A and B are shown apart, each in its own frame.
Chain A
Amino acid sequence: MTVVVAFVADVLGRVFVTPVREGRLRAAGWPVGLRPVTALALTAYAAAAVLLLSAPWARRHSVLDSGLSGEVVYPRWSLFVFLTLAALTLALLHAASLHLPAWLRIGALVVVALALVELPVTPLETGRGPHVVSWVGAGLLVVLTAARWRARFAWWEFAASFLVIGVTMAVVTRLVARLEAPAGLDATPTALTLTMGLVAVLAVPFTFVAGLAFAQLALLLAHRATEVVGERVRRTWPVALLVGVVAVADLVLVVRRLGTPTPTGASRLAESGSGALLLAVAVAGGLLLQRHRSLDRVDRLEGAVSRLALPIGLLVTITQVPVLLVSRLHTQVVRWHGDDPLRLDRVRDVLSDPDALTWTRVAAGLGLVGWAVWQRRRLTLPAVLAASIGTVVVSTEVDLPWTPDAVNDAAVVAASVALVVLIGVRRLDRGRLLALGAVLGIALAWSVRSTFDAPFVALFGLGATAAVFLGVLWTTLTDAAEVNEDSEAYPRPARVLLFLGNAVLSMTALAFLVVTRAGQIGIDLSGFGTLGDLLLGTGLLLAAYAVLVRQVVIAAPTPRC
């Protein structure tokens, strides 16, 4: 019993503690003033998380109101909380951008200024007051950006930005509310929903990355368990027995899946064939990329994930933010000019065209494969991961009817066949057995990863949001390795503020969606979490298989079973 407890504790420690220890935000060496800003941001993050977890309870015990034609039904008191969180988020992003490359500064300034100038929204004639205030606020941010163009980080930049954004939002909403009150209208929900729509779209890349969390956990769980078994179980036959049990469990799940119609409507043969093809291409590509390198460990893919996930998230969702920005800019230009001489509506239509999305993703996928080939010697594991994700992205956009389960099923069958063949030709040594065991273990954990959030669904009644919430939490805790670095173009304070801004805005957007039960407005963050699971998760799965297959192919001689 003690052995089992020690085994479980060891595995759980390596799965849940080590990644946090290695990937958390580190405050050592921070400039003056960054700690209180971080403390404020983490307080806001915690508040948003508490709001999210307590949403069912809060709704049951609050007077609810509805807005936007009934699309949001919210506790009225929550509006000011979300306005505060939105103001803080925008301030974090703006303060971070002040020391980032010029295109990011201008991009962040446009987003934050847009959030302010579109606040005075009402069906009534509001007069100039609210607009003047919002434009003055936006102007002050422009001045702050210009004044700090060549300066180094100073903590008061955030304070100034937060003050300008917060005061502007407060005064504008108050002025509009006073003007609308006689008509019995309440504009704050509309203004907040507009702002949250902007905030939510900024959260898309981070949420997309958060969708990877369950795949990461499945991978870590299986790999660490294999690792601990390898270290603690000295005799090989119990290991073989365990691998056999896992293989049988995998095969049972495969057979059960094969007995049901495909979710896409494609034939079973087409789906399974596509899954096998994708597996073969990705693993072959991964093997080629690792050709000039010694054996790697699967857990080192974590470093590659930390390095690549957010850039890939930005690449794959690249049209989301511009579409919303261009759309909102078009609205403002039309509001103030009468028509749109810049024809931003056309730009919006082009960007939101499904074909544009397809082509940008194909380009992103091919770009990732190209980058992988280029970097294969210097950054082998990131290259393997990038190539796998690139292959997955391209195969999705060319309508190959694979599903993650089909890919996994193909891996299970391949690993099981390999086991049998290696036993048959008496080439199954301990190293290969552990590698194949890891493949089968990952496959099993992958198959049940969607149940990881079950306790949260049951305890907090979060439904589909539970998975994204856990993903955002996990990403915040483990994905800050790059944030602890420093460089001329991306100084550490800016990285920290950007990371915190992303984390707070993702949690805030999620909390908003849960507390207000927002319907078909804004962004479906759960959908992007699912997309992250599909593209990044499957890519990670394939990269892990490629690394493990290499261990099987060129395993160092170890005792045979």
Chain B
Amino acid sequence: MPVRDTSGIVVCAVGALVTGLLWWGSADLSSGHDPDHPASGLVPPDGQRRFQRDDGGDQVVEEARLTGAELMLTSPPLVGGALKTLLGGDVAHWRIWRSTTTSYTASAEDPEQTTTIRRLTDRGIEHLADYGAFTLVFNPPLLDVPADVRDGSSWSGAGDATTDGEISYAADLAAAAAGDDGCLRITGHVDLREGGQELQDLPIDETWCPGRGVSSAPPAAGPPTFDGSTVPIQADVGTDDVASWRVRSRPPVFADSVAEAADTGDVPSLVLDVRPAAAAGGGLVVANTSGRDVLGLTPAHGALVRAWVGHPGGSVTSLGTSGEVTVTGSTTRDVDAYGPRGGWLWDRRLSDVMVAPPLAVDDDHLVLTSLAGDVEAVDPATGTERWGARMSDQVRVAPASDGTHVVVGDVAGQVSLFTASSGRTRWTVEGRPVQAVGIADGTVVVLAGPHVVGYRLSDGRRLWATSIEGVLDASVVDLGSTVVVATGDETLGLSPATGDARWRADGADDTVTCGDLVAQARGDRLVVRDAEGHPVADLALDGLDGPVDLTSIADGLYATDGHGMSVAVGP
């Protein structure tokens, strides 16, 4: 009797089994699951944004969903530490909902941004803390919404509202149906007392809606018109200035507010995967991978103090500024813009994620790129498209401009020159995958593979080519009569017209222009050179760990490591 061939069945079964097992095995457990009760359905998703009108003017509220570990890494030490100490338990497993409210009428003296931290537990939605204008830490947590909330529910609670127990709270709340879309109106009051004396009796009148969270103020149409500066931040540094440069430690500091940042003690450990950007006012803007936030850091009290936080949603993939406007790209494929105090301004969806820093050409043109090859110039104040184009492949390196033109290179080797004002394609050439581009003295300089190629600005005709060692950490810096091309292995000072090497130096971890000079970080040293390649400063970058990013500001630069530790280099 012939033996039946079962190989097909077995091979198919094994294939199906392995596929199923790998689906099970690779499930993303990091985001966890909210408790399964009616109150959970009221919590908004990460990255949701809404506008509301308050007595003081319009506000924007950004929602973030965090793990307990992320909460600890992104909160002021006084708040995060207090929560951990008071509430204890397995902090890492907490399911956090953070709401950040930013007022558009905030000023540099009163950068009003308030944060509310809530937690989802089997009890329901618990209010853990508020900070910003004032700081409250509720112990036990104030129950905002009970797990089985419904029309007619009522509940109460009492406890301490500050870590030292000087302020206590007592809450009485009730829920009633509001409308047909499942919303609930929660009313009542939270009575705050200090030493047994009434401090404030806060009336509560909030509307909670499924998937939209809570609102206690009438909605606003959107952000007000931005009337700040969008003029790109430029360094104004000459050789003579550098002689007096010193290196000063500027650690990041999270505080309840900038004013109270002096005594916070702990320095948070950030995770910076995206190059920081210079902020107006001499500060920095950084993207903290922990918590997926954008942080505006302002120099104060000998540190870089967190002045505002933005949460565009997804993970931040690129960062840049145009004057007072901060622009972020994220894994949502959206580009979001924030004002100088963290007020959200506009967003714009690209075909794919933006990973190259946006380029501020002038106060009216900001160039965005994407991994799908999008090139879009927008008005930095409004996000309105000025012009658009498409490259052949991913754009991973920062575009460059001379003010009149914009040059963009992609990973397939296409290099295109556009007129900055109109977007007209002046010319396109093909070459090797582009590592860096720049424009110097009438020549478009492209670092591609082991070659540096100069193209005539007017018609794209190849003028010269030369070789360079290395491809990583690539930069092209325009110093007028000299174009500096650098990789991690070699630095060349070239004549833009002929490509002749005027000088050579070691490679660097990062190379940026700083006024009329070029600044290079290599290990724990910062070397600043003039156009002739002469070192005009050689400084130790003490206190930083590993490769650093350099960010030019008006009168110097910052060096920042991957943990957010920074030093300011300047007068």
Contact = CB atoms under 8 A, between A and B. Distances in A.
Interface string A66-109: 10011001001001100110011000000000000000000000
A181 interface: yes
Interface string A25-54: 000000011011101100000000000000
B524 to A, nearest CB: 21
Interface of B: 5, 7-8, 10-12, 14-15, 17-19, 21-32, 66-70, 90, 92-93, 273-274, 289, 314-315, 317, 331-333, 351-353, 355, 371-373, 392-394, 396, 410-413, 430-431, 433, 451, 453, 461-467, 472, 499
B372 A156 contact: no
Contacts of B413: 464
A167 B10 contact: no
A170 B24 contact: yes
Contacts of A264: 451, 465, 467
A490 interface: no
Given A65-B315, A170-B24, A181-B30, A262 B465 contact: yes
Contacts of A363: none
Contact of B24 (A39, A174, A527): A174
A457 B371 CA distance: 14
A184 B463 CA distance: 52
Given A182-B92, A261-B464, A265-B466, A87 B22 contact: yes
Interface of A: 32-33, 35-37, 39-40, 56, 59-60, 64-66, 69-70, 73, 76, 79-80, 83-84, 87-88, 155-156, 158-159, 162-163, 165-167, 169-174, 177-178, 180-186, 188, 192, 260-265, 450, 457, 461, 463-464, 517, 519-520, 524, 526-527
17 contacts: A33-B5, A36-B8, A39-B8, A40-B15, A66-B331, A73-B353, A73-B371, A87-B18, A155-B11, A156-B7, A158-B11, A167-B18, A170-B21, A181-B30, A182-B92, A184-B66, A186-B28
Contact of B28 (A35, A84, A172, A177): A177
B25 A184 contact: no
Given A37-B11, A163-B18, A184-B69, A79 B26 contact: yes
Contacts of B353: 64, 73, 517
B22 A263 contact: no
B314 A64 contact: yes
Contacts of B410: 463
A159 B11 contact: yes
Given A170-B25, A261-B462, A70 B18 contact: no
Contacts of B22: 80, 83-84, 87, 166, 169-170, 173
A397 B202 CA distance: 79
Nearest to B19: A84
Contacts of A457: 392
A514 to B, nearest CB: 10
A156 B11 CA distance: 8
A260 B430 CA distance: 13
Nearest to A188: B26
A184 B7 contact: no
Q: What 5 pairs between A and B have smallest CB-CB spacing?
A: A463-B393, A166-B18, A170-B25, A182-B92, A33-B7
A200 B462 CA distance: 35
A184 B69 CA distance: 7
B393 A80 contact: no
B516 to A, nearest CB: 28
Contacts of A178: 29
B30 A184 contact: yes
A304 to B, nearest CB: 30
A349 to B, nearest CB: 16
Given A167-B18, A517-B352, A80 B23 contact: yes
B7 A73 contact: no
Nearest to B411: A464
Q: Which of B7, B26, B66, B467 has the most CB of A within 10 A?
A: B26
B43 to A, nearest CB: 17
A384 B5 CA distance: 47
Nearest to B30: A186
A262 B499 CA distance: 13
Contacts of B466: 265
A260 B26 contact: no
B396 to A, nearest CB: 6
A462 to B, nearest CB: 8
Contacts of B314: 64-65
A69 B273 contact: yes
B396 A519 contact: yes
B501 to A, nearest CB: 11
Nearest to B96: A184
B18 A265 contact: no
B392 A70 contact: no
Contacts of B393: 463-464
Contacts of B15: 40, 88, 162
B7 A166 contact: no
Contact of A70 (B27, B317, B462): B317
A38 B14 CA distance: 14
A33 B135 CA distance: 70
Given A170-B22, A183-B30, 7 more contacts: A64-B314, A162-B15, A174-B25, A180-B30, A184-B69, A185-B30, A260-B462
A65 B17 contact: no
Contacts of B315: 65-66, 70
Contacts of B68: 182
A56 B451 contact: no
B373 A174 contact: no
A185 B67 CA distance: 10
A153 to B, nearest CB: 12
Contacts of A192: 26
A165 B70 CA distance: 34
Q: Which of A35, A59, A162, A182 has the most CB of B within 10 A?
A: A182
B67 A183 contact: yes
Nearest to A34: B7
Contact of B8 (A35, A156, A186, A262): A35
